Each structure stands twice: as C-alpha cells, then as structure tokens.
Amino acid sequence: MPRNLEEMQFVGFFGIFKQSYKIISSCTELFAKITLALILPLSFIFLVHFEVSSPFSRNNILNKLALNHSPPATAKFEKLSHLISHETVYLWLFNAACSTLTFILSLLSVAAVVYTTACIYTAQELTFNQVIISVVPKVWNRLLVTFLCILGAMFVYFLVLFLVLVACGAVSLVLISCGIPVGQIQIMGVAVFVILIILFSVGLFYLITICLLASIVTVLEEVYGFAAMVKSKNLIKGKIWLAISITFILELAGGLNVIAFRRLVVGGARMGMANRFVYAIICLLLLSTMSLFRLVIETVIYFVCKSYHHENIDKTVLSDHLEVYLQGEYAPLKANDVQLFHVD
C-alpha cells in the first residue's frame, strides 16, 4: 500500500486488485493460517450445504408428490407421511446448523482479515495467535450487531420489492377492469418489469457494497450497527461506481464458482466419484481464495474512500489503536483520530 494515505484516493479499479495482491503477498504465511483456520472451514460448510441440501430437498419434493397421488389411510400413505415429516425435520436442523456455523465463521473471518490488513498497512508485527486469541474475541460482538442490522436492511429491501410487485399486479387488474386491451397491458408490464429489474439490481449491489464496507468500518472505527452502514454510505460517495463495479465482479466470480460446483459436483453423478471429488477440491480452494481476496479488497476500498474524502488515518494513531486489541480493553478509533485533515 502507498506510504501516505493521501495517495490512496488515486488508486483505481485495477489498482485496488493490485494493492490487495501485494498485501497478501507481503504476509503470505499469516494469511494462509487465517485461511486454513477460518476461511477454508467456512467455504467447506458453504459448499457442503449445497451438496447435502439440494438432493435432500429434491427427494423431499418427490416424496410429497408421491404422497399426493397415494390413497389416504393406506400403508404407503402413512409411510410417506412419516418419511416426509422426518426429512423435513432433518433438513431444518441441517440448514440451521450450517447457517449458524457460517454466520460465526463469517464474523471471525472478517475480524481476522480486516485487522491483519490494517496491521500490515501500519507495519505492525503480528502473529496468528494474537489475531485469534487477542483480537477476534474483542470485536466479534460489534460485528454481530452490524451483521444483524445488515440482515434487517436486506429484509426491508426485498420486502419493498415484493410490495412494489404486488402494487404493479394490482394496477394491472385495475387497467383490465377499465377495458384496456390485455396485449397493451402485457407490453407495458414487460417494460415496467425490465425497468424494475435494472433498478433493483443496481440498488441491490449498492446496498451490498454499503453492507460490506460497514463491516470494515465496524472493525476499524468506533461505530457499528446501522451507524456503520450510514458511515459506509457516506464513505463511498464519489467512489460509488468504482465500489459497485468491484462488488459486481466479486459477486460474479463467487456466483460462477457456486454454479460450477452445483453442475460438476452436486449434479455431476455421471462424471464419477473421482472426478466429482477433484472438482469439489478445486471449487473449495477457489472459493477460499476468493473469500480472502474479497475481504482484503474491501479493506483497501475503505482506505481509498477515506483518502478520497481526506479523512486520512494517521499511521501512528492507527497503530496505537490496533495495539489496544492486543494489550487491553478495546478502544475503537474516534472520529477526531481518523481525520488527519478534512477539506470541505
């Protein structure tokens, strides 16, 4: 990373990826340990969830269809009914366990990688044991609040989308009752649907970008929860399209990896067990590597946005702040600490 945070504001799209690679390369051993301890298990659980839940859900649906075609009060009907009940319970328990473990490991991974990246920036010596034992336990509760607020924001966003779609359907019924030809309504409906999809997609990536940056803010500053989301929203002003474009690339890469896993491993029964195992290992390693890069990239974006707004963090202040994690009670950076100078 540049020696002076003032230079970070000039880092562009490819520069952010380059800086992230340099950061990881400068401390490969530590990042490798964090990946093996946190990110690799997180990726493994994530992929196992697809491997187990997909065929399990498919069998459950097939059994429900068979139940609908079975005469009531027969031995087959009772057997299928009990089987479906047990499968549903097992599926819910499995999903709950995977979701809980994923949630916990996500919190720990964010705390560890963001803190490590900040320490590398300040040239502060750090060991894996310090990250896991001293740092992560002191910040996970703040990240938990932020993550819950993120889930709430996502729920509200999709709820608004659902209400908009319901309103569009109601308007269509009103137009039909007014005697407008169905063909014209269908044309208008397609046009409105396309516009809504575009607006929804852009808004979703904007919200995802804010949420991702809010996690970084939670670790490195004094705010958390919805306040961290507001802070991240203000930070990306002026760098919105840069941040959104990088978020899109990261989401696309992760999505393609999941699609490959589902087609080659989950749905690749004809390829043989050996080939599926090899593909599973490749997908696991790719997902783990991308997850690590993603967290480092998000931290670099944070510094770029801070520099753009001239809210530059003095290395000495940041180093002292990070040292508190290792020595005593947690004391997050305050607003007057993070601003080296500010230009209106």
65, 96, 186, 237, 307 from 102: Cα distances, Å? 32, 10, 42, 31, 33
**Model-level pTM greater than 0.75?**
yes
Position 145 in a domain: yes
In a domain, 343, yes or no: no
C-beta separation of 203 from 288 below 8 A: no
- Rounded to whole angstroms, how far apart are CA atoms 148 and 135? 21
- In a domain? residue 109: yes
By C-alpha distance, which of 324, 185, 301 is closest to 246? Answer: 301
- Please report, to the nearest 10 degrees, the dihedral formed by the alpha carbons of residues 209, 213, 287, 91 taken in order: -80
Return all residues near 305 (Cβ < 8 A) that are at least 6 apart: 213, 235, 236, 238, 239, 243
Q: Is residue 89 part of a domain?
A: yes
Domain that holds residue 59: 5-338
Instruction: Write out the chain's pLDDT in tens, 344 residues.
Output: 554 566 777 788 898 999 899 999 988 888 999 999 999 999 999 888 877 777 777 777 777 777 676 777 677 777 777 777 777 788 888 888 888 898 888 888 888 898 888 888 777 777 777 777 777 777 778 888 999 999 999 999 999 999 998 888 888 888 777 877 777 778 888 888 889 899 999 999 999 999 999 999 988 887 888 999 999 999 998 889 999 999 999 999 988 998 888 888 877 767 778 888 888 899 999 999 999 999 999 999 998 888 888 775 655 555 555 555 555 544 444 444 444 334 33
Q: Which of 215, 258, 251, 243 is nearest to 115 (CA)?
A: 215
Residue 344 domain flag: no
Domain count across the chain: 1
Query: Per-residue b/e over 6-38, b at no fewer than 16 CB within 10 Å?
Result: eebbebeeeebbebbeebbeeeeebbebbbebb
Task: Say whether 181 sits in a helix, a strand or coil.
Answer: coil
- Asked whether residue 333 is assigned to any structural domain, the reply reads yes
Please state, in angstroms and rounded to a whole number, the distance separating the CA atoms of residues 59 and 112. Answer: 39
Q: Is residue 144 domain-resident?
A: yes
In this structure, are residues 21 and 289 in contact, taking their beta carbons and an 8 Å threshold? no
Is 261 inside a domain boundary? Answer: yes
- What's the pLDDT score for residue 245? 93
**Residue 330 structure tokens:** 């947690």
Residue 130's identity, in one-letter code, is Q
